[in-house]
Structure 1
């Protein structure tokens, strides 16, 4: 992979990491493919780091330092390049979202971050960060709202979401928050042709992703990946056989869920239920 035209190695920490990796590799007389073989990845993967397309990985940087004899140089640069506004465990997935052409999510208990209102997001984040200062919560909310803006970008991905009915019934914030959130979800589904939402009803019973929050991301020129998340941690999975298994399971979940049309009707009905509950309390 060639160096992008005009890329300034001093523009940010990631670009500098890439330029240093390229310099060390060339001084060692190794091609991207040969270096990739030495650190158990593809040459194109090395090229993505050199071109500042992908955020560097600490474990891989350690292997690169060992192979290239660079001490801890790349590891130190990696730590600088990995500074991010989102939780570190989510940072790689957040970056890949910007490059994905398709994203298929399953949300077991809450409306996915893509389609959250600010009030709903604040209630979810405050519940997870119960003892955090207000400024920390405000920062998380602002970052989540910035993430939502990807849906309005020219390169917005096709977003397919399966949300469990539990997310429509679980009270997050007050009834007004829930009514506004579900109304927003219904409107986003109806107004955006690139968003498909299905509801997994209680009547569907057990299914492949009980208790699992995940996103499958597809790309134009790279293999698919899966991101799974639980409280305070997440995992990015790129092993092809395991990714294929997740895809197969997602197809089963999609088949068990309600149709998009029936799902939209249920979301709209749940929004009205919360509005009525608000007026009766």
Structure 2
């Protein structure tokens, strides 16, 4: 059955995407079933996306663009659609993160979102029992595209050693996650330092925080509580955060020693091929 439902393109990014997909498909003289056959999906899926009942993926968008000859229209729109799936309180941070030229973050419990693998991200996001888990995972992975830009932001991560030993998603997922962290060792614009347990008390026992710098705009500090996140451009708060971050960097292992510790945790804690080691 053909999915037909009138959409208000102004209602949401998802509605706008659906309306554009239908317009482009009809202009190409294709039915939902015919387009689905070309891009290796069902006509029903095409219809669900056109009626804003299903969130498109980047892969779907790129295939549809190629089939419809749209010069990347849907691929450009899908980023906005996926970002709209993030919690309302988190969307402003994602917007600023995408514009930042320098990101420095201390993560006390988890791997930073920009560096998470799909399996790790899924396990983390599932703890909130969301009804749209697939969309949230896709949105988190979409955020990571800023690292692949021709001019990516400089990203400096101080990661607490605890994040290496908390088995998020199980042993196999953790091994792949730690291997993913190691893949950034030679990345020009990204550095990872580990804050070891041996440091004891340190400058941010209160928790994680992220500072972002911009071209021509004030710096912003972001931190989360139990329910949501908060951003501030307060000079005094930013000054305090900068001082604390400097102490964290000084106390953390060097980038090289951090990579060695991550490797050791991956091999000794999670074993080859994801086999858990007691």
Provide TM-score, normalisation by structure 2: 0.67
Counting only pairs closer than 5 Å after superposition, residues 12-27 of structure 1 correspond to structure 2 as: none
8 Å Cα contact 2:98-2:143 kept in structure 1? no
Residue 11 and residue 137 in structure 1: after superposition, are their counterparts in 2 closer, same or farther (change >3 A)?
closer
Q: CA deviation at 1:160?
A: 0.2
| Pairing 1:278–2:259 present | no
Match of residue 144, structure 2, among 121, 130, 148: 148
Residue aligned with 2:180, SS: helix
| Pairing 1:257–2:252 present | yes
Q: CA deviation at 1:92?
A: 1.4
Counting only pairs closer than 5 Å after superposition, residues 170-249 of structure 1 correspond to structure 2 as: 170-188=166-184, 190-249=185-244
Q: CA deviation at 1:11?
A: 9.4
Runs of 4+ in 1 over 3 A off after TM superposition: 10-13
**How many residue pairs end up in the alignment?**
199
Residue aligned with 2:253, SS: coil
Counting only pairs closer than 5 Å after superposition, residues 58-207 of structure 1 correspond to structure 2 as: 84-127=84-127, 129-130=128-129, 132-133=130-131, 136-188=132-184, 190-207=185-202
8 Å Cα contact 1:224-1:243 kept in structure 2? yes
Q: Which runs of 5+ in 1 are unaligned?
A: 1-9, 14-82
Aligned alpha-carbon RMSD (Å): 2.2
**Distance in 2 between residues matched to 1:267 and 1:210, nearest whole Å:** 21
Q: CA deviation at 1:140?
A: 0.6
8 Å Cα contact 2:223-2:229 kept in structure 1? yes
Q: CA deviation at 1:12?
A: 10
**Distance in 2 between residues matched to 1:280 and 1:137, nearest whole Å:** 30
| Structure 1 match to 2:16 | none
Provide TM-score, normalisation by structure 1: 0.66
Q: Which runs of 5+ in 2 are unaligned?
A: 1-8, 13-82
